[in-house]
Structure 1
Amino acid sequence: MSEAVSAQSRLKFSTILAFSLANLPLGALAVAVSVYLPPFFASHLGVSLAAVGGAWAVVRLLDIGVDPALGLVMDRTRTRFGRYRPWMAIGAPILMISVWALFEAKGQVSELYLIGWLLIYYLGNSILALGHSAWGATLSTEYHERSRVFGVVAMLGVTGAVVVLLFPILADKFGRSEAQAVRDMGWFIFWLTPVTALIALSRTPEHVNPDHDGVEFKARDYLSLLVKPDLLRLFLAQMCLTLGPGWMSALYVFFFTDSRGFTPGVASVLLLVYVIAGVAGAPLTARIAQRFGKHRTLMVTTTAYSLGLCLLMAAPKGSVPAVLPLMFWCGFMAAGFDLMIRAMLADVADEVRLEQGKEQLSLIYALNTLAAKIASAFSIGLTFPLLGYLGYIAKEGAHNTPEAIRSLELAYILGPIFFVMLGGVCVMGWKLDAARHAEIRKALDARDGRVRAAYEEAPILDTLGEPSPVAFVSQPPAKPAQSDAGSQ
């Protein structure tokens, strides 16, 4: 049987694009919060390195239980507007108010203030990201079409990061200081969030998969996910592939200015090149995965990324021509990390639904997000206090000893290489390939047909106990059912 996606099952690009726009502010925040916000609090607002690192670590640890709880509730949500669409509508305003509080912080900021608003920020971010990922996995049931969908999602996320990076690069031209550029990022993301969310909500269909034997929660179903080998492997892979680049992001500004001898503006340009490479890397990685498989593609990109990072230290200090191609190479390869894992999780979710008879998409993506959160806590919670312990001083205008700079360099290079390579090792010998997934989909489609036939004989009640106007496909409220949503 051909592995090519049939013309009938392919989604229209306009549908994928409208859905993927919601990832623009999330991609922008990924860079703004990890690269620029910690130095903003440490350098411009005078919060100590230990306090900044501690705040991020505490928040991530407190936030650990949020995503699994959200996943459980999302998977059991049934409304006339869909399963995941209402959650995106809830998450957008929560994210907006937290962005305003963090990026507009002024004067003496306490560690408690930082912890409180980071908690609210990560709650809003979790709701939006989790709902968007689970919703995206339902847009198509095709093994390779999912790579295409998440490829565009990743590309739009990278695009958001690119736009954010223009703020510090263009700051001097418009007479804006570094601190003002960070605040400008916040306002851009603040207004981008509701616009993109509304487009996704109004232009994208949502398919709600039927449950085979009811929607009641059973603790053993949750526990079975925790010990399922494929999910454990992807959990560990996500931790490693978040911790590696996240570790680099936390130290990026310090490394490229104090170690490599670049000005903050040039360092931002190089980071822009790294991120722009992902605009090309995400869709091309998706195409490569359609030919060679997702797990093989992930292993290749992790290895190539680590090789590029090794060469970075060999480049002459202050040489843009030498560093620029290396940054493009690393950014191109990094674009495939999250993309491949999310697409592989969608395939595992089909296997879980076949085994349990229930939709567990949100919970599965919540466990994956949990892995990313734990890794993110360590990326900032360890690196910032470590630099302080090794004698590195982050305050503007401070002079650091050669020993402190050397410690910075080792921390920036060695940790990411180890974790990224380990992430690739986690998917060695992966069995859930296109052929196996086709067997799973055949069994699911046959069973879903029988369930749908049974539902036609009885009315379906929504979460309010009223007859639902939609059985399994929830369209945007103002639009009739679309034919470009792909065969379910």
Structure 2
Amino acid sequence: MHTSDDNIRRFNGWQLTCFGVLTAPLAMGGLAMAMYLPTYYAVDMGLGLGLVGAIFVLGRLLDIFTDPLIGHWSDETHSRYGPRKPWMVAGVLGFSIAVYLFLAPPDAVGPAYLLLASGLYFLFYTILDVPYSSIGLEVSPHVDERSLLAGSKAIFQVVGAVLAAALPFILGYSVGEALNAIAWSIIALCFIGLILFLSFVPTPVRAIESPRLTAIAALKSVLSDRRYRYLLGSFLIVQTANSLVAGLMVLYVIHIVGATELVGLFLGILLFSSAVFLPLWIYLSKRYSKRTSWMTAILLCATALALVPFVGRGDVTAAIIVSLIIGSTFGADAIMPTSMLADIVYEKERDGNNRLGGLYLAVKNSVSKLSFIVPMGLAFPVLGYIGFEKTGADGPNAMLTFLFFYSALPILLRLTALYVLRIGPDFIVEQKRDSAIA
């Protein structure tokens, strides 16, 4: 006999906070890796852009294979504390060591050191993140509460990214000194977040009645879900569009808007607007549906991107407004797919079925990482070939080429995702309104 979902206690504000805190150090590490570390190892350490770029891409490609394995192994783990917590403890310990090696290297290092440090970083990031995030898919039977759990993680993701971006400027440190400070901040927040999570986040352990699955059988089970395939396809398309916009934002501000000194402001607008508008997307998901909320955000972002060609050099106010609208939709792109996935996972695992949340999430993570590799392998080489970084928007056809990658292609991708979501199956049989808000 199973307890009715209506009788299971909801998370209070403190528990939602404690659930999300551990996302902050992960976000700090992610931003440091994207913003500071490539240039630091390539220029300050003298390893060269080509070698550093190749090592970083290799790490991301390896993630595509290790993420599903970690997800499956955490699904199949049996312990008195549940399947995820032992992995989280091991992940925090290993990630803390890897962060120190990666962000605070000795004065002189070679390619072998970077390969080892980055490899450990990527591996232990996955060991910590996949089991931790999987709990968010499984822990609540309430449809709307899953959006709140995803929203808590999204808010702390912004907090972590802002801390990592602002810390060097606040402290007035050099890049090397700032990376050292960021490393120790990440380590401290990891342990604080883990303690808060283990102490205050209720994570009931569900008994598994089905026989164990091999990794191949589990992957086949996950990919056989038609709803998941449509969700995964939509997520890949939207993330690919977002990676183009986020990756080219700096070039847009410098060469199109002509406001080099405001690069930090524009990046901050993207981060803050994604957090500020989260309540709107959660409200729309409760009022209508999660798919409707996400589709609204997709269409709004495409509309904002369509305005980009009309913003010229010196149009700072217009560029800020457009970037604010674009950033406001990033929150929906983050929490709605995760919350919809939680609905699928909870329904799939209900009534003693196999635990598959870790694998579901890990495959989604692999797709997300792939989406950030492919566009950069397309847009940057083309822009480099035409010399955009040297001539800017003044070169022959340079403006049209840049706008294709920054505006036209992301619009096309988002409209494609909108169509996929529109023709896709229902992602969950929604709970009755009165039970969902009881």
Same fold (TM over 0.5): yes
Asked whether the equivalents of residues 58 and 115 of structure 1 are also in contact (C-alpha less than 8 Å), the reply is no
CA separation of 1:8 and 1:359: change in aligned 2, threshold 3 A: closer
Match of 2:31 in 1: 31
Shift of 1:24: 1.2
Match of 1:257 in 2: 254
Match of 2:89 in 1: 89
In the alignment, does 2:315 pair up with 1:323? no
Asked whether the equivalents of residues 255 and 409 of structure 1 are also in contact (C-alpha less than 8 Å), the reply is no
CA distance, structure 1, for counterparts of residue 41 and residue 58 of structure 2? 16
In the alignment, does 2:231 pair up with 1:237? no
Matches within 5 A, 1:400-415: 402-403=394-395, 406=399, 407-415=401-409
Describe the superposition over 1:108-160 as per-residue Cα deviations: whole angstroms up to 9, x where unpaired: 76555444433322222212221122111222111112112212221221222
What's the TM-score once normalised by structure 1's chain length? Answer: 0.78
CA distance, structure 2, for counterparts of residue 50 and residue 260 of structure 1? 29
Letter in 2 for 1:124: F
Asked whether the equivalents of residues 301 and 333 of structure 1 are also in contact (C-alpha less than 8 Å), the reply is yes
Asked whether the equivalents of residues 256 and 312 of structure 2 are also in contact (C-alpha less than 8 Å), the reply is no
Describe the superposition over 1:196-242 as per-residue Cα deviations: whole angstroms up to 9, x where unpaired: 22221222121222222233547434313223211111222222232
RMSD: 3.2
Find the partner of 1:419 among 413, 418, 434: 413
Judge which range, 177-186 or 214-223, deviates more. 177-186
Q: Size of the alignment, in residue pairs?
A: 429
Match of 2:22 in 1: 22
Asked whether the equivalents of residues 36 and 175 of structure 2 are also in contact (C-alpha less than 8 Å), the reply is no
CA distance, structure 2, for counterparts of residue 354 and residue 401 of structure 1? 55
Matches within 5 A, 1:327-406: 327-354=323-350, 357-393=353-389, 402-403=394-395, 406=399
Find the partner of 1:428 among 408, 422, 428: 422
What is the DSSP-based 3-state SS (H/G/I as helix, E as strand, rest coil) of the residue aligned with 1:345? Answer: helix
Match of 2:211 in 1: 214
What is the DSSP-based 3-state SS (H/G/I as helix, E as strand, rest coil) of the residue aligned with 1:206? Answer: coil
Shift of 1:50: 4.1
What is the DSSP-based 3-state SS (H/G/I as helix, E as strand, rest coil) of the residue aligned with 2:79? Answer: coil
Matches within 5 A, 1:442-481: none
Asked whether the equivalents of residues 257 and 311 of structure 2 are also in contact (C-alpha less than 8 Å), the reply is no
In the alignment, does 2:223 pair up with 1:223? no
Match of 1:65 in 2: 65
CA separation of 1:384 and 1:33: change in aligned 2, threshold 3 A: farther
Asked whether the equivalents of residues 243 and 375 of structure 2 are also in contact (C-alpha less than 8 Å), the reply is yes
Letter in 2 for 1:289: S
Letter in 1 for 2:97: I
Which structure 2 residue ranges, 5 or more long, are not aligned? none
Shift of 1:332: 1.2
CA distance, structure 2, for counterparts of residue 128 and residue 76 of structure 1? 16
What is the DSSP-based 3-state SS (H/G/I as helix, E as strand, rest coil) of the residue aligned with 1:207? Answer: coil
CA distance, structure 2, for counterparts of residue 111 and residue 247 of structure 1? 29
CA distance, structure 2, for counterparts of residue 390 and residue 107 of structure 1? 36
Letter in 2 for 1:300: T
Letter in 2 for 1:22: L
Find the partner of 1:274 among 270, 274, 277: 270
CA distance, structure 2, for counterparts of residue 336 and residue 210 of structure 1? 33
Shift of 1:107: 6.6
CA separation of 1:412 and 1:177: change in aligned 2, threshold 3 A: farther
Which structure 1 residue ranges, 5 or more long, are not aligned? 443-485
Asked whether the equivalents of residues 102 and 117 of structure 1 are also in contact (C-alpha less than 8 Å), the reply is yes
CA separation of 1:179 and 1:213: change in aligned 2, threshold 3 A: closer
CA separation of 1:122 and 1:237: change in aligned 2, threshold 3 A: farther
CA separation of 1:182 and 1:54: change in aligned 2, threshold 3 A: same
CA separation of 1:187 and 1:329: change in aligned 2, threshold 3 A: farther
CA distance, structure 1, for counterparts of residue 180 and residue 134 of structure 2? 31
What's the TM-score once normalised by structure 2's chain length? Answer: 0.86
Larger helix fraction of residues: 2
CA distance, structure 2, for counterparts of residue 135 and residue 389 of structure 1? 45
Match of 2:54 in 1: 54
In the alignment, does 2:282 pair up with 1:286? yes
Asked whether the equivalents of residues 98 and 121 of structure 1 are also in contact (C-alpha less than 8 Å), the reply is yes
Match of 1:197 in 2: 194
Letter in 2 for 1:229: R
What is the DSSP-based 3-state SS (H/G/I as helix, E as strand, rest coil) of the residue aligned with 1:212? Answer: coil
CA distance, structure 2, for counterparts of residue 11 and residue 31 of structure 1? 29
Judge which range, 329-338 or 253-262, deviates more. 253-262
CA distance, structure 2, for counterparts of residue 209 and residue 341 of structure 1? 24
Match of 1:311 in 2: 307
Asked whether the equivalents of residues 218 and 356 of structure 2 are also in contact (C-alpha less than 8 Å), the reply is no
CA distance, structure 1, for counterparts of residue 104 and residue 407 of structure 2? 32
Describe the superposition over 1:264-294 as per-residue Cα deviations: whole angstroms up to 9, x where unpaired: 5x21122112111122222331121111111
CA distance, structure 2, for counterparts of residue 206 and residue 37 of structure 1? 36
Q: Tell me the percent identity.
A: 23
CA distance, structure 1, for counterparts of residue 278 and residue 372 of structure 2? 22
